[in-house]
Amino acid sequence: MSRVAIMTDSASDLPASTAARAGIVVVPLEVSFGEERFTAGVDLTTEDFWKRMTAPDAPFPKTAAASAGQFRTAYDEAFAAGADAVVCITVAGTLSGTLKSASIARDDLKADQPEREVIVVDSGSASMGEGVLALMATELAAEGRTAADIAAVVEDRKSDLNLYIALDTLEYLKRGGRISGTKAAVGTLLSVKPIITIRDGAVDSVESVRTRSKARERVLELLSERPVERIAVLHTMADDVDGFRDELVRRVRGGIDPTHVSSQPVGPSVGPHLGPGGIGAVVLYAR
């Protein structure tokens, strides 16, 4: 039986405990607050990130892609540990240079050791949109599927993935360069709560709702439009996350076991672009 190692990056927002249990290697991105630089999940926990993010007069955090060197080290270590192949699922290439780094490292390894098989897959998403695909990949690897088979399934199921999250403001997405200043300005002037998604690797504003409660309700409606196979609830230090999760599980079709629905804060690699107060989820629609 082949042994395929599954990798992703810290923009997947996989909790360390979840990644460890699944055997997923997480390559970290860099986060900086002014002159202070940190490695996401290594010397900057999610809790510490949000304390810094919401501190008065805190500098706006910036993220940087994981380097090709980090991926090359991760690949080498996976093969040294006995892997026959690696499937690496990254944050959307349109949102970060991390995909390029993973690909450069793959090509570098191939030049040195042509027999090594590394397949890099662009998730087309971020946060647990990426994480859900990585978790699926580990299940396929456990079945003994080849790296090519696993990558093909992940590529195919990307179209069934959706993410909706209601934010307090678009300002953080604007400052992080993920949306235009015009879109952010309109939302600010109208004092609305924007709902965003990621489509084909691009952040898109779906709707703008007048109040937080109405935005929450609309996100629930959007997420439960189709039968669901998997759910991962996301928030950026929002209130009543458990209530949101329970209501979402109640509404979705597909017989989701509530104990299998994760719920965690967005981490340092994605959080700077969303800001505090957001709530939503990633769903993988059933076929």
pLDDT in tens, 256-274: 888 789 898 999 999 998 9
CATH class of 160-285: alpha beta
Residues 242-251 as b/e (b if ≥16 CB within 10 A, e otherwise) read eebbeebbee
Half-sphere exposure for 171 (CA within 13 Å, toward CB): 10
3-state secondary structure of 169: coil
Domain ranges in the chain? 4-158, 160-285
- Please enumerate in sequence order all residues whose Cβ is within 8 A of that of 255, keeping only pairs 6 or more positions apart, or say none: none
Q: What is the CATH number of domain 4-158?
A: 3.40.50.10170
196-238 pLDDT tens trace: 999 888 888 888 888 889 999 999 999 999 999 999 999 999 9
pLDDT of residue 182: 43
Burial classification of residue 155, based on how many CB atoms lie within 10 Å of its CB (0-12 exposed, 13-18 middle, 19 or more buried) = middle
pLDDT of residue 258: 80
- The residues that bridge with 38 in the sheet, in sequence order, are 31
Q: What is the mean pLDDT of the chain?
A: 91
Element of type H or E holding 234: strand 228-235
Is a pLDDT exceeding 80 seen at residue 93? yes
Q: Residue 100, Cα to own-chain centre: how many angstroms? A: 17
75-89 pLDDT tens trace: 999 999 999 999 999
**In this structure, are residues 193 and 168 in contact, taking their beta carbons and an 8 Å threshold?**
yes
pLDDT of residue 190: 53
The model's confidence at residue 119, banded by pLDDT at 50, 70 and 90, is very high
What single DSSP character describes residue 11? Answer: G
| 4-158 and 160-285 agree in CATH topology | no
164-186 pLDDT tens trace: 999 987 778 777 555 544 454 44
pLDDT of residue 204: 85
pLDDT of residue 179: 54
130-149 pLDDT tens trace: 999 999 999 999 999 999 99
pLDDT of residue 95: 93
Q: Which of 109, 114, 112, 111 is nearest to 7 (CA)?
A: 109
The rounded distance, in Å, linking the Cα atoms of 11 and 27 is: 9
The rounded distance, in Å, linking the Cα atoms of 152 and 276 is: 36
pLDDT of residue 239: 87
**Average pLDDT in the 92-119 region?**
97
